[in-house]
Amino acid sequence: MKLLHLPNETELDNKRLQIGARKAFKHLVEQGELSAVETFSFLYESKQCGNYKEAREKLLALAEKFQPDIIFWQHIDYFEVDDAFVHQLLGIASKPKLVYHEADPYGRYIKRINENMRVMFRNAEAVFMVGLGIFAELAQEAGAKRVYFSPHNFETVRSGSEWQPTLKRENDLVMIANAMGYVRMPGRYFPGSQHRKEFGKKLSERFGKRFALYGKGWDGLEASRGMLPFDQQEQAIRSAWLSVNWDHFDQVPYYFSNRLPISLAAGVVHVTTWHSGYDQVFKECKGGLYTAKTVEEAVELVQYLLGQPKDFLIEEGQKGRAFVFEHLEANIVYGNIIRLVKEVLF
């Protein structure tokens, strides 16, 4: 079974390359679960071509030559497509099945889905999303036939390196997150933004310079450390006893960003927002992950954990690391997607 992979990449560099999915599909070929994979980076190609029309023509030519069984399209974003083009793409001799993977969060009023996404939803045989609730509802309203949950994941190229946990650390806790998620409407922000800002402020007031707070929008807080390059995140997480976060879209069932698996893969205890569905996703997690339903509860939970013996926190961090390597590593997550697609669509 051959797969044509369409990753969302504007540049082919270490920061924007979709390493997880690329690595996972290569692994599936090596394991014999796929016979071949071709990759077409549609946003990068459209930049090279200077227009979407020529990039679409290149994609169609590649599909006709490769004759895939599955077309796996990730987060179409602003790449322009219509039903006619998708029908042409799916009408090649191999009659491939379109699978759409959407790893960005969306809402009904804030950060709304665009027409390109609607084209994907109504033409895909299966849609995979990183949360349910409103995410799934929007896809189904746009015509999606089948919607499945597939969690955010981490890849072992940039995260989860080998580490001997240290007994002395520079910081007590670390948070890597921008204060607010801005949208184009003035004065409007992503759901959860106000709670995240409150969380960062309260932690800064309580822990001061013992709290390493990275990201935009934290100016004026004692804990603020400014921006942090992506390739330094794991080092920053391991500089502390706890990593913490408050999610955007904090009411969406089953949702979490890639911050959660990246943090746990570092081997550090992680405190974050509780979402309904976590009792299912993390039912086999033996430790390392702590959740709270309110900002006040999260702050007190952080205070409690920092009072625990260091050996306990190290052990908890290792339990969380073991869980994500078994359940949320990219090879596992994308492998589960492909196996479900083969069972349901073929």
How far is residue 122 CA from its own chain's centroid? Answer: 23
Tell me which residue has tokens 């016979």. Answer: 35
Helix 193-207 and helix 295-306, axial crossing angle in degrees, nearest 10 = 30
- DSSP labels, 303-315: HHHHTS-HHHHHH
Measured at the alpha carbon of residue 103, what is the angle toward residues 23 and 97, in degrees to the nearest 5?
A: 70
The residues, any chain, with a CB within 8 Å of residue 226's CB and separated by 6 or more, are: 214
Q: What is the pLDDT of residue 231?
A: 87
Q: What average pLDDT does range 329-333 have in this prediction?
A: 98
Query: Do 2-153+329-345 and 171-327 come out as alike in CATH topology?
Result: yes
pLDDT class of 255 with cuts at 50, 70, 90 = very high
Domain ranges of the chain: 2-153+329-345, 171-327
Cα dihedral 21, 252, 245, 318 sign: negative
Q: What is the pLDDT of residue 15?
A: 80
Q: Which residues of 118-129 are buried (b: 16+ CB within 10 A; e: fewer)?
A: bbbbbbbbbbbb
Structural contact between residues 110 and 190, judged by C-beta atoms closer than 8 angstroms: yes
The residues, any chain, with a CB within 8 Å of residue 119's CB and separated by 6 or more, are: 76, 81, 82, 83, 86
Single-letter code of the amino acid located at 45: E
Evaluate if residue 182 carries a pLDDT over 70.
Answer: no
Distance CA(39)–CA(321), nearest Å, equals 30
Distance CA(135)–CA(120), nearest Å, equals 14
pLDDT in tens, 153-175: 999 999 999 999 999 999 999 99
pLDDT in tens, 58-67: 999 999 999 9
Q: What is the pLDDT of residue 145?
A: 96
Q: Which is nearest to 89 in space by CA: 66, 105, 109?
A: 66
Longest Cα–Cα distance of the chain, Å, equals: 64
Q: Which of 39-43, 163-167, 180-184 has the lowest mean pLDDT?
A: 180-184
Tokens of 273: 């927002």
Q: What is the pLDDT of residue 180?
A: 78
Q: What is the pLDDT of residue 184?
A: 56
Q: What average pLDDT does range 315-322 have in this prediction?
A: 98
Q: Which CATH architecture has domain 171-327?
A: 3-Layer(aba) Sandwich (3.40)
Mean pLDDT of the chain, nearest integer: 96
Q: What average pLDDT does range 84-89 have in this prediction?
A: 98
Q: What average pLDDT does range 259-271 have in this prediction?
A: 98
Q: What is the pLDDT of residue 181?
A: 62
Q: Which CATH architecture has domain 2-153+329-345?
A: 3-Layer(aba) Sandwich (3.40)
The DSSP secondary-structure symbol of 329 reads: B
pLDDT class of 186 with cuts at 50, 70, 90 = low
Q: What is the pLDDT of residue 249?
A: 94
Q: What average pLDDT does range 97-120 have in this prediction?
A: 95
Single-letter code of the amino acid located at 63: A
Tokens of 228: 């942090």
Evaluate if residue 246 carries a pLDDT over 60.
Answer: yes
